[in-house]
Amino acid sequence: MFNIFKANSNEIHREATSKYLIAKTGEDILNVDHRKKHVTKIKRLFSVTDSIWLEHYYFAIKSFAEIVQEVPASEIHHHSNVGGLIDHTLETLHAGIRISHGYVLPPNTEPEEITSAADRWRFAALIAILAHDIGKIVTDIEVVYSVNDGGFQHWHPWYSNIPVGSEYIYRYKKREGNTKSAKSLHEKAAMSLLPRLLTKEAADWIFEDSELLSQLFSTVSHSTFGGQVISEIVRTADCSSVARDLGADTGVKTDHSSAVPLHEKLIVSLRKLINDGDLKRNRPGAAVWVTDNETWVVSKAGMEAVRAQLINEGHKGIPKNVVRLFEVLREHELLIPNIEGDSVWSAEINDFAKNWKQKLTFLRFNNALIWPTSNPSVFDGEITPVDRKGNPLNIDESKITAETNNVDIEDAIEKLTSKVEDDIDIPPGSVTKMVQKPKVSVPKSKKTIEPQNSEQSGISSKEAKQEWRSSRQVQEDILAENDFIGWLLKGIRRRHIRVNEPAAPVHILDEHVALVTPSIFILYLEKNSLKKALYEKRAGDKKIYTLLQKELQALDIHQKGTNGQNISKMSVEGQRSQSELSVYLLNKDCFPSLANFTSNQALRLHL
C-alpha cells in the first residue's frame, strides 16, 4: 500500500486508480445516511435559527470533515476503519452537547445571564469537540495525493485542504518503540487548526467571554489546568464514544452502542498497550518480544495488563482469572498453540547484545494479528521454545510459521479490523486482515506462572523459583505504570515512605501489603498536587481518595475482607496498648521487590 511513501515526491509513480480514496467536500462527506442522522440530532440540541446553524455551526462541522476526509480515528484501537475519525467526532458531538444540557452554563453566573450566554458556551463545546482529535491529521497520519493523474505529493494540513476530486492515500507515521512521547502530541497540534473551524463572527463571539476563551484554549491544547467545564464535557463525551465502539458500558446514553465479543476486546486492548508503549518490548524485563513472523507476549503479566485496561475503559464481565482469557483467545484461534495444543509456551529469551538470558512463559501470536497496519521493530536476539526442563523443543519452527501463514488470513479477524461502510472504496492495506488457523480440539490450558513442584515439573526447585520470580518482576514493572503504585514502590525503595514502623502508612504481612487508609492515599495526593486537583474535580460529594482506591480495584491486586468490603481491619498489639487500623490490602506476590521485608508480627489481620 505505502510503497509511494518510500520515494521522493518527484519520483512517485501512479498505480491503479481504484486503490485510492477520492477527496470530497465536507458536504459530500456528511451526505451519508448515518452521518446525516447524527447531524440532524446534533442540530436539535441547539436553540438557534436555521440560518445561524448553517452559517456557523454546520460550517464548523463541514470544515472539520473536509480537513480530515476519510481517515480513521486510530490505527488499531477505536473507530479504526476508513472514515472513523468523522464518525467518532459526530458521535462525540451528539453525546457532548447532550451532556452539556446537564450543566448550568455559564458556570457560577447570575440566573439572568444564563439564557443569553448558554448558547455561546455550548457552541464553544462543539468547537472543542471538533478540535479534540483534529491534530491527528498533523502529527499521527501521513497523506499523499495526486491531482489530474499527476504524480503524488505529500500533503500538510496547515496550508490547505486536500484538493477536492484528487486521489489520496494515508498511513500512520511510525512511532518510536518503547516511548509515550507522541501519545498526546496531536492534542497540542489541534491549536494550529482551530481557526479553520470558525467564521470571523463566531470567533468574535467567543472572544467576548474571556473565561470561556480560557477554558476552550486549555481544553483544545490539553492543558492540565483551565479546561474545567468545557474539558469535562469533551472528556466524558469522547470516552463514551470510544468505549461504546469497543463494546464497553459507560452509563452515558447515546445511540451508537455496539456489542463487541470478548476476544475482539482482548486483541484491540493488547494492540493499544503495545503501540502506546505501556507494554515494553524487545529489551530485558519487557513483556513483549517481536520476531520476523510472531509476537511473544509474557502470558500472565501481559493479560493482567489487558484486563486492567479493559476494566478502566468501562467494560463489564471481564473474567478475573487470566487463564480464562488465555482460553478465550485459544478458542477463537487467535493464538498459536503449543505442541500439546495448549495456550502457553515456555521459551528462553537470549539477548546477545546485552548478555541477558531468561526463561519465561508466553502467549504466541502471528504478527499480522498484532500489527495489522505496520511493521514492528524485530528483536535482535533469539527466542527458543523449551520444555519444562529448559531443553530446546525438537520442533520445526519453519513448519509452524508455514502452517500459520498458508491458511486463510481473512475470516478469523475480519471483525477485528474492518467496520467499513459498503459504499466506501477502501485503499488496500488500510484495513488489514489476520490469520485463521484450522479448528483444533485442545485440552483446557493450565496455569504456568506459579512455582511448580520439582517432581511435577521435571525441573529443579531453584529453576522453578527463578522462573516464577522473573514472571512476577515483569508483572510488577507493568503495575508500576500506575501512578500510585509507581510512587508507592519508589517511595519504599528510597525510604521516603516508612514501612513496619509505629504510625507508618505501610506494613508488610506474610501474604499482603497493608496500606493504612486513608493516610497513605492522602500522603500521595499531598505529594502530587496535579493529581489532587484532577481527583477533586471528579470526586463530587465523595472523598477524593476513594477514586484512588477504585483505580487499584481495577488492577485486581487487592484483597477484600470476609465481609466483602474493600477495607479490612487490623489490630496493632503493643506492650502497653492495643489499637486498630483500617487497611487496604494488596497481594504481596505481585511485588517481588518487597519480598525482603520481614512480616510485622505486631499486627493481626481480621479477615
Does the domain made of 3-245 have the CATH classification 1.20.120.160? Answer: no
Q: For 221-267, what is each residue's pLDDT tens digit? A: 877 666 778 888 888 877 777 766 665 554 444 444 445 678 878 88
Least reliable range by pLDDT among 155-159, 442-446, 579-583: 442-446
For residue 239, the surrounding DSSP H or E stretch is helix 228-245
DSSP label at 562?
T
Question: Considering Cα of 232, then 236, then 241, then 242, what sign does the dihedral take?
Answer: positive
Residue 345 near residue 364 (C-beta atoms within 8 A) = yes
Cβ atoms within 10 Å of 408's Cβ, excluding its own: 11
pLDDT value for 597: 83
Residue 410 near residue 436 (C-beta atoms within 8 A) = yes
pLDDT value for 19: 72
Fold match, 3-245 / 482-606: no
Reported as a pLDDT band with limits 50, 70 and 90, residue 202 is very high
Three-state SS for 35-64 is HHHHHHHHHHCCCCCHHHHHHHHHHHHHHH
Least reliable range by pLDDT among 307-311, 345-349, 557-561: 557-561
Mean pLDDT score, 95-113: 75
Question: Considering Cα of 436, then 440, then 446, then 449, what sign does the dihedral take?
Answer: negative
pLDDT value for 62: 92
Per-residue cell: 108 = 457560577
pLDDT value for 330: 83
Q: For 21-55, what is each residue's pLDDT tens digit? A: 888 998 899 988 889 888 998 988 888 888 999 99
More confident residue, 16 or 491: 491
pLDDT value for 252: 46
Q: At what angle do helices 200-207 and 210-220 cross, to 10 degrees?
A: 110
Mean pLDDT score, 110-128: 78
Q: For 367-405, what is each residue's pLDDT tens digit? A: 888 876 667 788 888 999 988 778 888 766 555 554 554
For 279, how many CA atoms within 13 A lie in the half-sphere containing its CB? 27
pLDDT value for 77: 65
Domain ranges of the chain: 3-245, 262-472, 482-606
Per-residue cell: 363 = 502467549
| Greatest CA separation for the chain | 91
Residue 61 clears pLDDT 90, i.e. is over it: yes
| Spatial separation of the C-alpha atoms in residues 453 and 457, rounded to whole Å | 6
Q: For 417-473, what is each residue's pLDDT tens digit? A: 443 333 333 333 333 333 333 333 333 333 333 444 444 444 455 555 555 555 566
Residue 427 near residue 21 (C-beta atoms within 8 A) = yes
Reported as a pLDDT band with limits 50, 70 and 90, residue 110 is low
3-state secondary structure of 591: coil
pLDDT value for 578: 65
Least reliable range by pLDDT among 207-211, 420-424, 501-505: 420-424
| Spatial separation of the C-alpha atoms in residues 524 and 590, rounded to whole Å | 20
Among 46, 130, 51, 125, residue whose Cα is nearest residue 86:
130
> Which fold would CATH assign to domain 482-606?
Thrombin, subunit H (2.40.10)
Residue 509 near residue 516 (C-beta atoms within 8 A) = no
Mean pLDDT score, 352-365: 87
Among 270, 294, 538, residue whose Cα is nearest residue 397:
294
| Spatial separation of the C-alpha atoms in residues 203 and 348, rounded to whole Å | 61
